[in-house]
């Protein structure tokens, strides 16, 4: 009986060894007909960080942060390179025209950075999350719907971005990430 039990464990071991872990990332999808630049802000154990720019072609997605999410709230600022305009909010954080990683969100201008308004994304403490950028003509239906609800239990959550506003005063020309 012990030998039979040992063989059963050995047969199960290879199945367990090859099980792939569930993906856990923060992704952003550009569902517009334009190229967009994206910056992200978040707070981790060391404080606030902003990073940018990810350049997404039209109708494309990219992973901004790999691995399990470290915070509940993330902040996004995006600009439309082709038509002008932006997706923004009221959480002001530091950016710059070129690729950047900036620690801290205070005194942006005094430290030689630009200051932009980011919109808040509440991930509800999900392990992974996807934000959808859409054009102003592609807004959600008028009846009330939860803005940041998971698609299904256990699956990555998907959230729409706030409405697109345009045109932006100037769009940084950023290198591809």
pLDDT tens sequence across 107-162: 999 999 999 999 999 999 788 899 999 986 544 433 322 333 333 333 344 555 66
Query: What's the total number of domains in the chain?
Result: 1
Q: Give buried/exposed letters for 76-93 (b at 16+ CB in 10 A, else e).
A: bbbbbbebebbbbbebbb
Q: Which of 13-22, 78-87, 153-162 has the lowest mean pLDDT?
A: 13-22
Indicate whether 90 belongs to any domain. Answer: yes
Q: Is residue 83 part of a domain?
A: yes
Q: What pLDDT digit, counting tens, does each position of 50-63 carry?
A: 999 999 999 999 99
Q: Which residue has the higher pLDDT, 172 or 121?
A: 121
DSSP state of 104: -
Tell me if 32 is assigned to some domain.
yes
| Threshold 0.85, pTM exceeds | no
């Amino acid at each position: 009986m012990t030998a039979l039990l040992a063989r059963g464990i050995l047969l199960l071991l290879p199945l367990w060894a090859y099980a792939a872990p569930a993906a856990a990332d923060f992704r952003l999808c550009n569902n517009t007909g334009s190229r967009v630049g994206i910056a992200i802000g978040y707070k981790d154990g060391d404080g606030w960080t902003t990073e940018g720019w990810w350049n997404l072609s039209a109708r494309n997605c990219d992973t901004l942060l790999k691995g399990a999410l470290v915070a509940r709230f993330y902040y996004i600022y995006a600009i439309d390179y082709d038509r002008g305009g932006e997706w923004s909010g009221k959480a002001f954080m530091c950016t710059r025209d070129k690729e950047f990683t900036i620690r801290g969100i205070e005194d942006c201008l005094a430290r030689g950075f630009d200051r932009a308004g980011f919109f808040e994304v509440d991930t509800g403490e999900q392990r992974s999350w996807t934000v959808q950028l859409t054009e102003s003509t592609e807004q959600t239906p008028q009846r009330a719907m939860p803005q940041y609800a998971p698609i299904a239990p256990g699956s990555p959550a998907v959230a729409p971005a706030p409405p697109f506003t345009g045109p932006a005063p100037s769009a940084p020309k950023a290198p591809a990430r």
